[in-house]
Every structure is written in C-alpha cells, then in structure tokens.
A and B are shown apart, each in its own frame.
Chain A
Amino acid sequence: MRGSIAAITLATVLALFMGSAGAHDESKYPDWAGQWRRPPGIANQFDTSKPPREGQKPPLTAEYQAIWEANLKDQAAGGQGTDPTYICIPDGMPRAMNVIFPMEIIIMPKTTYILIEYLSMLRRVYTDGRSFPEDFEPSFMGYSVGKWVDKDGDGRYDELEIETRLLKNPRAFDASGIPLHEDGKTVVKERIYQDKADPNVLYDEITTIDSALAQPWVVTKKYVRELRPLIWFESICSEGNQHVRIGKENYMVGADGLLMPAKKNQLPPDLRHFSAEATGATGEAKR
C-alpha cells in the first residue's frame, strides 16, 4: 500500500515535470492545421449561398444600394466601380474571408494567426483577454479580439469567437463592389468552428454590422482542408498588374507596354507637367 502511494506520487511529479511550464498544450485547441480552401465550385461572392452580383441581394440602405447600382453600371462599361482592389489594395475585412487563395490558421495561446495567400493578407486575432484599444490606427484587416469557447464542455475548445473593429477604407464585400460605409465603423463578428461530422470542413459564420446596411448581414463561409501534399504559392498582386491609376482615372497597360483606355472614349492623361519639347518629341507625335 505504501509502495502504491509512493508510486502515484512519483508518477504525478514526473508527469508534471515532463509536461513543463513552457508547454503549449495543443490538445486543448481544435486541429485547424494545414491548408484551407474554398470548396470546389464556390466562386468569390460574399454570400456563397446566393448567386454573384445582383443575386447577392445585400441588405443595403437606399443610399448605398444606389451607390452599388452605379458601380455595377461602371463595371459593365469597363470601369472598376467601387471595388478598390484593382490597384492591389488588400480586401480587408470581411472580404478577406472570401479566401480567394488558400488560408492557413496558426493557433498559439495568446494569438491566432490567419494567413491568406491572396494579396498576402495577415490577420492577428488576439486571444489573450485584451479589450479593444481606445486609440488605434485603423487598418484594412482591422483589430481583432477573439475568445476560445468550449461549447460542448468536453474540456477542449471548439469555437473561436472574433470581433473585429478599427477598419479603414476603401473596402467592398466582393468584386462586384458591394460597398461598406465610408465612415469605416464596420463591426465584424465571427464564429469559426469545425464541422461535427467532418473535421476537414471549417465554417466561419460572419455577421457584418455597417452603416451601409439596413440590418446586420449574416453569411456562413465554408472551407475545406486540402488533403493532397501542400503547395503554397505567392500571390503578388503588383506582379503583372495591368491597371494603373492616374488621379481618379483607371487605365490599362497593354502587352506592348503602352497605355490604353480602360473604357470606351476615355480621355488620355493630362500631360501638362511634361515639357513641350518632351511631349512634342514623343507623346503628341505618336498619338
């Protein structure tokens, strides 16, 4: 009997020692390692349960519905409308979670990192118990505070709740230019969790509260884990980007390296800052 007590005591001490104070017990967190992608057949629209563009039926206010419709007309004419990303500005939140190119999630005790290859976007979700800072520089990805939740009480976290604020503009919900309000006061709430029946499926329930919306817009994104050998590639928007913005105008650069209009009958850029000699020698002469 005395021997058994000694054994239990020694074993407990040994186990505690071997576990060490520095250990990050990954078994407390869900296994979200690997590469996550949009499911096959899912396009880039914000609400993936509805068709893109007009089919999205976003709950916009009348003012922002009019802005969006004007944007759709501009896009139909070859413009970019209210989609700001053509000059390689990042999607920002919540659009980043459209996950155009694959995503990786790194869980550490104080921070969860979300790396999205498209436009090289990086989110830090702080899970160290902090509150939102009172004064903070707004950013496209915003400031995210998260909390791990053990929903089923099995001693293991199964859901990450996130709130994101302090966002900057310009942003749109997707490539159709569905606008967010220019006041930048968006609040994005998320619940990220795995499918109960399939650990290779991840969901992100996103609730967007924004002054451009008549009511919060709730969508649920689905991601699937890549099970083939992983290939990570770089998405460098500026590499080979044919759009150039001069003032408020968007132009294209053709395959021959020459400037082209992006819209029918678009005026060329104003060359007033070039000397008459330089303009006469090339620009005007070649026009």
Chain B
Amino acid sequence: MLNRILISVMTLTAALLMSVGVAAAFDDAQYPNLKGQWIRERAPAGVTGQGPFDPTKSWGHAQQAPLTPEYKAKFEESLADQAEGGPGFWPGARCLPPGMPAMMTNFRPMEIIVKPETTWILIDHIHETHRRIFTDGRRWPEWVEPTFDGYSIGQWIDTDGDGRYDVLEVETRHFKGPRTFEPSGMPLHDDNKTVIKERIYLDKADPNLLHDEMTVVDSALTKPWSVDKKFRRVKEARPYWPEDICAEGQAMIHVGKETYWVAGDGHLMPVKKGQAPPDLRYFKQPPK
C-alpha cells in the first residue's frame, strides 16, 4: 500500500513538474545573488592613482609589477610620456576600451546577469559594455576573433557542498591589443597571448562585497601576477546607470602618432612643451 502511494506521488510529481514548465525555469536559488550595482571598493588609505591594477597599492612603480626588463623599459617610456603631458600607452586616452584585465578595475559601475548558459558582466565604460562568460560547458573554439575583452569560459563551483554555487571560475583568452594593466600605461605583451584566470565570489562575511581573484599570465611578466579586486554593492534598489561616452567632449585628438588637445576655443594646441603642430602638406590653403 505504501509503495503504491509512493509511486503515485512520484508519478504525479513528475507530471506536475512537466506541466508547470519547470524544465524551462531557471532557479536563481542555485546561484549566488550577484544582483544590483557594483562599484569599486574604496582604496585603502594612502593608495593613489586612477584605478591601480593591484588595488592595495598605488599605481605606477608602487605596483611592483613583475615585468620583464623589456616591458619594464616600455613602462618607463609610458610614464615619461605622461610626465610630459602625453597619454602614455593607456588606450583609454584614445577612447579604446581597456579590455581585460584592466576593465575589471571597474572605472564605471558593474552589473552581473547570471543565467545557466552565460554570465554577462556589464560595465558601461568607453566601449566595453559587456563581457560574456560562457558557462554552458563548451570547449575553446578552434578559431576566435581576438577582442579586447577576450573570450571567456566559466564554470560554477559549489565549494562548500551546500547545494548552491558559490564561485565562478573563469578563464579568458584570445585577446587583441594594445592593452595595459592600468592608466599608468603598464603594458601587456604585444603577442596578446595573455591568459587570465579568475575566481569570482561573494565574501563569506559580507554578502555586499564581491571578490575577483585574478591571475594574469602574460609574456610581459616574469611570473603570473595575482591580485584580489573587490567590489561593493550599492544600497539603492533602483540605481542610476550612467552612460559613458568617451568620444563626447573628448578634448584629446590623435593625428598619426601625435596627440593634441582641442582647446576651449576650438583650436588645436600642443600637449607637450615645444610640440610640433600636425604636418599640413595635404592642405592647399594656408592656416588661418
């Protein structure tokens, strides 16, 4: 008798589950709650610079990046150019997206959308806007068009065995350049063979603190470089999402390899002392 009831229960349960469309339901409860707006965690006291790659240290030399001698020399070149008023190697100065890994410095607020097959990371900064992390079990494709943000494959992990995923492991490859670690212009290698591994998870003690433990493997580095990026969830239920249009009001323009400013009066001006103006050989008319 008991067995018959049990069989009836199982049969009815299966029928109910099928009829209510649970097959198509996506159970949020299986995933960590990453909803809302995330901003870069406040830097520790004394840390300076716009968006250092290692958030615990000031940007530039203080990062103590494990660069090869060749790329250390390039980094010095970028710093020297910036000291004179130039943009250095920071691609953002040309309205190019920082790409990975610099985009995860969160220069603008971040939103994370989780679905079983894909996790999207939306950051409205320059031309970034969205990262797709494929969590559908795919392998690396044979051919991928290189991009600044790279191609990301992820896997959700239940590290504490409570039946709920708590870590998203991500590996990102297939990049294009130029990319730098931070606005100081600390470069990644021109070969673009960067591999970035991330572990994204909520802080055990603070559900409004998100970690992105990131390890960068790159030919410009003498060893893998690991940092822990942290993000803070804002309290507003309906946060303001700013639109970041780099080209709007951009006063810096680039002609060939030279950078200039467009002054408030609409005329071209040098960014460095003694800088030559652009070559005007293609104009028939003299300058005004």
A286–B12 CB distance below 8 A: no
B113 in contact (CB, < 8 A): yes
Q: Which of B59-67, B93-101, B188-196, B218-226 contacts A (4 or more CB under 8 A)?
A: B93-101
Q: List B residues at the A interface (Cβ < 8 Å).
A: 1, 4-5, 8-9, 12-13, 16-17, 20-30, 94-97, 113, 115, 120, 122, 124, 126-130, 132, 145, 147-149, 238, 240-243, 245-248, 250, 253-257, 262-263, 265-270, 274-288
Residues on A lying within 8 angstroms of B by beta carbon are: 3-4, 6-8, 10-12, 14-15, 18-28, 87-90, 106, 108, 113, 115, 119-122, 124, 126, 128, 130, 136-137, 139-141, 231-239, 244-248, 253-254, 256-261, 265-275, 277-279, 281-283, 286-287
Known contacts A239-B96, A244-B253, A253-B255, then 8 further A-B pairs from the complex at CB < 8 Å, ordered by chain A residue: A106-B113, A122-B124, A128-B238, A232-B132, A247-B265, A260-B283, A279-B277, A286-B280
Given contacts A248-B266, A269-B287, contact A19 B25 (CB under 8 A): yes
Q: Is the CB of B13 within 8 A of A15?
A: yes
Interchain Cβ contacts under 8 Å between A and B, 28 examples: A4-B8, A7-B5, A11-B13, A12-B16, A14-B9, A14-B13, A18-B22, A22-B27, A88-B247, A106-B120, A120-B127, A122-B130, A140-B245, A234-B149, A236-B127, A257-B255, A258-B279, A258-B281, A259-B283, A266-B285, A267-B288, A271-B268, A271-B277, A273-B263, A274-B277, A279-B277, A287-B279, A287-B287
Cβ contact within 8 Å between B262 and A247: yes
Contact status A259-B29, CB under 8 Å: no
Q: Do A10 and B9 touch across chains, with their CB atoms under 8 A apart?
A: yes
Write the nearest CB–CB distance from B186 to chain A, whole angstroms: 21
- On whether the beta carbons of B145 and A246 are closer than 8 Å, the reply is no
Assess the B9–A268 pair: CB atoms within 8 A: no
Knowing A7-B8, A8-B12, A268-B280, the reply to whether A89 touches B274 (Cβ < 8 A) is: no
Knowing A8-B12, A231-B145, A265-B284, the reply to whether A258 touches B274 (Cβ < 8 A) is: no
Q: Within the assembled complex, what's the spacing in Å between the Cα atoms of A283 and B274?
A: 12
Contact call B16/A234, Cβ cutoff below 8 A: no
Interface of B is mostly: loop
* Residues of A close to B128: CB separation below 8 A: 120
Q: In the complex, what residues of A have CB within 8 A of residue B113's CB? A: 106, 108, 113
Closest Cβ of chain B to A194, distance in Å, is 16
The residues of A that contact B5 with a CB separation of less than 8 Å are: 3, 6-7
Partner of A281, one of B132, B238, B276: B276
Residues of A close to B279: CB separation below 8 A: 258-259, 282-283, 286-287
Alpha-carbon separation in the docked complex, A268 to B286 (Å) = 7
How many whole Å from A234's CB to the nearest CB in chain B? 4
- Contact across chains for B26 and A273 when beta carbons are under 8 A apart: no
Whether A23 pairs with B29 at a CB distance below 8 angstroms is yes
Complex: chain A residue closest to B99, CB-CB: A234
Are the CB atoms of A3 and B4 closer together than 8 Å? yes
| Chain B residues whose CB sits within 8 angstroms of the CB of A273 once the complex forms | 263, 267-270
Within the complex, what minimum Cβ distance (angstroms) separates A162 from chain B? 16
Q: What CA separation (Å) do A272 and B277 show in the bound complex?
A: 10
B19 to chain A, nearest CB (A): 9
What CA separation (Å) do A269 and B243 show in the bound complex? 31
How far apart are the CA atoms of A260 and B285 in the complex, in Å?
A: 12
Q: What is the bound-complex CA distance between A88 and B238, given in angstroms? A: 29
User: Roughly how many angstroms separate A270 CA and B266 CA in the complex, as a whole number?
Assistant: 9
Which residue of A has the minimal Cβ distance to B283? A268
In the complex, chain B residues whose CB is within 8 Å of the CB of A15: 13, 16-17, 20, 22
Q: Which residues of B contact A140 (CB under 8 A)?
A: 243, 245
* Contact across chains for A283 and B147 when beta carbons are under 8 A apart: no
Which one of A18, A28, A130, A234 contacts B148 once the chains associate, using CB atoms below 8 Å?
Answer: A234
Q: A268-B285, A270-B267, A287-B286 are in contact. Are A124 and B241 (CB under 8 A)?
A: yes
Contact A25 B21 (CB under 8 A): yes
Given the interface pairs A11-B13, A259-B278, the reply to whether A89 lies near B247 with Cβ below 8 Å is yes
